Structure 1
């Protein structure tokens, strides 16, 4: 029953998250909306993994610690042909496969992105000219500004961008890129990419990657416009539209929507809206563990209080009978 509840939870999150988190209101709460997307992915994943684990490992075995878990898993795999153990073995194998896919996808995504950025940076160093305030200029005919996350992170500016942008626009773009680096936005995008690679057929995974890429640009735009104004950011976005290498975060990504948002900013969210979004993130993260813990508690309580035993003195049942 607990596994069915957890699977229903995962299905509900996977179905409802996409329409709920793609409305116009998300542009006014980009940071919390990123948290909601990642929370939805994590919540659905934890629910499915826990459901599969509980099929093979009942709550009583979980309460016994690692020894109980190992014994239950061994029994399920050893009795694969037995009717009572087949479902447990299927649940255990499905959980292991899903967990392995997720771990491999995260590892491959982060490793490949880091390797690409290192190669790109190594190719830029011989031709780049470091500037005193922490960015690198590269001679190129196309106007582009982007950052390469890492230790240390690098902001790359082409010579054409310097010629095209005004001083205020260039300062806004540089602040935009530094916001990406300081906020570790590449990690948020990489998590969404890894989840999508692990589950390519899941609409939630595809939508989460698209939306998180969009929302981190809104976060950086807000950071830049707070100092240099929305007009400067909007004009710079138009000048640099869609000239960003892969595995990099650039000021020209998703130009049309971002320009509209800069010129016609969304209404400032109320405190109530922020509280609701933060509460929803907390519910997504704590829901599956709470269901599993509550189920384990009920099973253990039933095991320690057999049916037919007299109620303890002072208990509600004893008081009602007395």
Structure 2
């Protein structure tokens, strides 16, 4: 019953989250909360499925004994594969292991691919680049106006010659702050996590929508930080003058221009502590429900087993 409850929760989250969050007007004014909800929904849905499979394969009493008990129960289920009462447990264990492996491999592969691309991209830029207007900036001799960042240690902000020609000094400072906001906020990791879920679960609409939305929302976050320092209209004007494309695994100030310009030309709404608290509470529920449900099932099973042993001893 607990496994069915967890599977129902995962299904509900996967169906409801895109409808409740995707492209909603409030996400434009609270991008940080929206990102937290998307990531919380991804972790909650997959965590519930993993927990459901684990509960089918491993008796709840084994969960209460720690890692040793879980491993022993898993080995026992695999050893008795084919027995009438053990087939379901073995299949559930195999499905859980496959899902966990896909998530792990996808995350590692996504991070490795992005890191390798950035390293090669920097090497390719080296012959045609020169120091920029700031320590962390590199100017590339290219006519297309682009400004983008390459996360790493240290991070780099790449500015093309076309961008220097197209932007005013105030606009250039605004887009540099935008890119530094990406670097400070580790926005590339947020995008990479969403991309890893999509890579591991390509048929899940929740994963596909979450990646697209998080890519959009991190740009809103960086726009807000640049706009707070240099003015929203200055940031909007700079976005219009930059090209719409950003290479590879970089994050750039010129992407999704129309939506961002419309947003920046609208006065920033006042902060809403109530909305922030509500968002944090929903994220907490998303993350805690699979854990709390699994822990409760294990606790009930241990209690029942203890009561059963006590009753047997008393009768003896």
Matches within 5 A, 1:187-198: 187-198=189-200
Partner of 2:12: 12
Partner of 1:61: 62
Q: Distance in 2 between matches of 1:50 and 1:290?
A: 11
Matches within 5 A, 1:107-146: 107-131=108-132, 133-134=134-135, 135-146=137-148
Q: Match of 1:306, SS? A: helix
Find out whether 1:254 has 2:256 as its counterpart: yes
Give ranges in structure 2 of 5+ residues lacking alignment.
none
Matches within 5 A, 1:234-273: 234-265=236-267, 267-273=269-275
Matches within 5 A, 1:8-157: 8-22=8-22, 23-131=24-132, 133-134=134-135, 135-157=137-159
Structure 1 window deviating more from structure 2 (106-115 vs 258-267): it is: 258-267
Q: Distance in 1 between matches of 2:67 and 2:237?
A: 59
Q: Is the 8 A contact 2:64 2:299 kept in 1?
A: no
Give how far 1:266 is off: 5.3
Give how far 1:283 is off: 0.7
Q: Is the 8 A contact 1:241 1:254 kept in 2?
A: no
Q: Is the 8 A contact 2:130 2:140 kept in 1?
A: yes
Q: Distance in 2 between matches of 1:298 and 1:245?
A: 53
Structure 1 runs of 4+ off > 3 angstroms? 307-310
Give how far 1:306 is off: 2.8
TM-score (normalised: structure 2): 0.95
Give how far 1:66 is off: 2.7
Give how far 1:65 is off: 2.3
TM-score (normalised: structure 1): 0.93
Using a 3 Å threshold, how does the CA distance of structure 1 residues 308 and 140 change in structure 2: closer, same or farther?
closer
Count of matched residue pairs: 310
Find out whether 1:229 has 2:260 as its counterpart: no
Give how far 1:132 is off: 5.3
Q: Distance in 2 between matches of 1:265 and 1:214?
A: 19
Q: Match of 2:149, SS? A: strand
Q: Distance in 1 between matches of 2:254 and 2:35?
A: 20
Partner of 2:296: 294
Matches within 5 A, 1:159-170: 159-170=161-172
Q: Is the 8 A contact 1:165 1:239 kept in 2?
A: yes
Q: Could you give the per-residue CA deviations for residues 57-77 of structure 1, whole angstroms, max 9, x where no partner exists?
A: 011111222332222112211
Q: Distance in 1 between matches of 2:75 and 2:159?
A: 58
Q: Match of 1:155, SS? A: strand
Q: Distance in 1 between matches of 2:123 and 2:67?
A: 47
Q: Match of 2:300, SS? A: helix
Q: Match of 2:269, SS? A: coil
Matches within 5 A, 1:197-212: 197-212=199-214
Q: Match of 1:150, SS? A: coil
Question: Cα RMSD (Å) of the superposition?
Answer: 1.5
